[in-house]
Each structure stands twice: as structure tokens, then as C-alpha cells.
Amino acid sequence: MTRVHVVGAAGYAASEVVRLLHAHPHATLGAIESESHAGQRVGDHAPLLRRISRTFDGPGVALAACAPGDLVVLGGRAADAPANAAAFLQRGARVIDLSDAFRLQAHARCGDADAVYGFVERYRDAVRPARLVANPGCYPTATLLALWPLADFAPGIVQLVIDAKSGVTGAGRTPATASLFAEVDEDVRAYGLGGHRHAPEIAQELRALGIDAPFVFTPHVVPLRRGMLVDAYAVFADEPDADAVRAAFARRYAGSPFVRLLEAEQAPKLTAVAGTNDAELHVSVAGKVVRALCAIDNLGKGAAGQVVQTLNVMLGLPEETALHADSIAI
């Protein structure tokens, strides 16, 4: 059994990590640390955690208990991640960071450890031996799942349009007026039109794929607790071969247990992926446009589920361990 400490465990994504790890057959929960909720019962904090008869540990408990071979999930503020990661790495632990502190290549190092970008479907071999993994954001995860197979056709792409919609939990648990029920109910709100914090992450990974075409990224908040739908449109100079495009998607995800490539007339559904680490994909060609749609749970494949998938890869376990849809769906 591998001991896993969760730091900053009171947020939506970190709480979901705690829930998944509680049922993991090869991991045991170490410290469940929260500065804001220290001493409070974990089960009183989130109804889905009521089976966990623990209280939140206070600051410093995880580091004091950490030993070589442990794994640490950092769920706190990005500003705190470099110092926290360095301290745990010095103790001989391996670290998965939920924040955006290490996602960009310019910041992807902590001490003598290089951070690996945790998009497992592409970087599986790099994740396996990693000491530090930067968990991707939810918008980039869904976007990259939709567009990665188009790397085979990159020279022909002249423009990308990424229309993305997220449930309210994507904004985190810290109260904000824009996230209140009265603000989001009966509305679909575009935001970040002058530049979104995930856009550089998307740009970095698209460029790494060799996709240099300009893109427009428009995120929206929709009145749902959880869920994310990305509609990505790749405009080509010439009409691409539809069969070749679909074959590229099938080939890319042939060994990916959580990615479902739907039949041509099927559309991804948020209700099909809610509470899971699954992703549903649709791809079709209309003239010079490839339409790639991706549905994920923003707290599942977009955050906590991806953490556990990454942890499984790091520990040499089957990626599906503790992530079978039938056992984790909410």
C-alpha cells in the first residue's frame, strides 16, 4: 500500500481526490490537511465524504508524517505550490500538483525535479517515473482530448475555434459573487474574453503537437454543478479526408481506457460522464471544418479523476484502478 497525503484538501477537486483514494485498493490516506478546516470532521464538510471518519489535519501534519515512497497531492494555492512541492520532494515523496504552478514549461521545475505535464493519454511514459507531475487544467484537458489526433494533419490547419462550457465547480470553492446561484441560474455566461488563464497552457500543448494555427478560446459558465463540454472546430485550407481523420482518432485512443469515441451520429453527453474519469468524443468533417466535441466531468477527468489516473501510472497499476465508472459515479 502506498500512503498518499492530500494537502489543501477542502477544495472541490481535492475533496474528490480524498473520496476516490478512500476506496483505492492500493493506496491509503495519510494526512488530510486543510488550513481553513483543521479539526473539522471531513464528513461534515462534504456529504460524499461521510464514510470517512476523520477530521482535517492542520498545517504541517503532512510534511511531518511524510516518508520516502509516500505520494503527496497538493490541492492548495498555486503561490504555495513551489515551496510545498520542494519540501515534500526533499523528504523523498513524489508529488502531484493540482494548481497551475508547474504547468507551463517556464515554471516546470522544482529543485532538481522537472515537472511532467500530466496529460496521461499523451505523456504516459514520462509520467510513470516522474517525481513531480503538474495536473492539467480542466479546459486544457478537454481541449487536448478533442484536438490531439489532429496533430497528424497540423500543416493543413489554418484556424482553431474552441468553444468551452464548464459547470460552476470549475471556479473553486472560495465564495465569489459571480458563482452564486442567483448569478448563474438561467444563464450561459462567457468570460475571460480578454484572455483566460488556461489559454497559455492550451497554446503550449498545441504547439508541442506541432499545431501552430491561431486559435480563439471562449470559456463559458453554465448552470450545472459539474461537467464540461468543449466544441472545437479546426478550419483547414483544403477539405480533409473524413475517413483518415476518424482513423487518426481511433488510433490515438486505442489504448486509452477512459476515452470513448462515439459513432458518427452520436453527441457527447455530460450525463454519461458525470462523476467519472471518462471522456466522450465526437468527430466529424463538414467541408473544410473538422468538428471535435469532448465531454468530461470537470472534477473527474478534469481534476481529481485525472490525479488518480496519474497516481496509478506512477505506481505501475492499471489506469482504471479505483476509477471504474460503475463504482465512482455520483
Give the separation between CA 269 and CA 228, rounded to whole angstroms.
10
One domain for residues 292 and 156: yes
One domain for residues 188 and 280: yes
> Per the structure block, which three cell numbers stand in for 193?
474574453
Give residues with Cβ within 8 angstroms of 226, minimum separation 6.
167, 169, 274, 275, 297, 298, 299, 300
Count: domains in the chain:
2
One domain for residues 6 and 45: yes
One domain for residues 19 and 150: no
- The pLDDT, as a whole number, for residue 210 is 96
**Could you tell me the CATH number of the domain that includes residue 243?**
3.30.360.10
Beta-bridge partner residues of 166: 221, 228
Say which residue the cell 474574453 belongs to.
193
Query: 25: burial class by Cβ within 10 Å (0-12, 13-18, 19+)?
Result: exposed
One domain for residues 67 and 90: yes
**Could you tell me the CATH number of the domain that includes residue 38?**
3.40.50.720
One domain for residues 267 and 306: no
The bridge status of strand 259-261 relative to strand 279-286 is: parallel
Mean pLDDT of residues grouped by 10 in the chain (330 residues)? 96 93 96 91 84 92 97 95 97 97 89 94 97 97 98 97 90 70 81 83 96 96 93 98 97 96 94 96 98 97 97 97 65
20, 303 in Cβ contact below 8 A? Answer: no
Q: What amino acid positions are annotated as catalytic residues?
A: 138
Give residues with Cβ within 8 angstroms of 182, minimum separation 6.
none
Which phi and psi angles does 42 have, rounded to 5°?
Answer: -60, -40
One domain for residues 121 and 230: no
- The pLDDT, as a whole number, for residue 284 is 97
One domain for residues 97 and 6: yes
One domain for residues 41 and 171: no
Q: How far apart are the first and last CA of the chain?
A: 26
One domain for residues 172 and 111: no
- The pLDDT, as a whole number, for residue 173 is 64
- The pLDDT, as a whole number, for residue 185 is 79
**Domain range spanning residue 308?**
2-134+301-328
One domain for residues 83 and 200: no
One domain for residues 156 and 115: no
Residue 121: closest CA among 141, 102, 103: 141
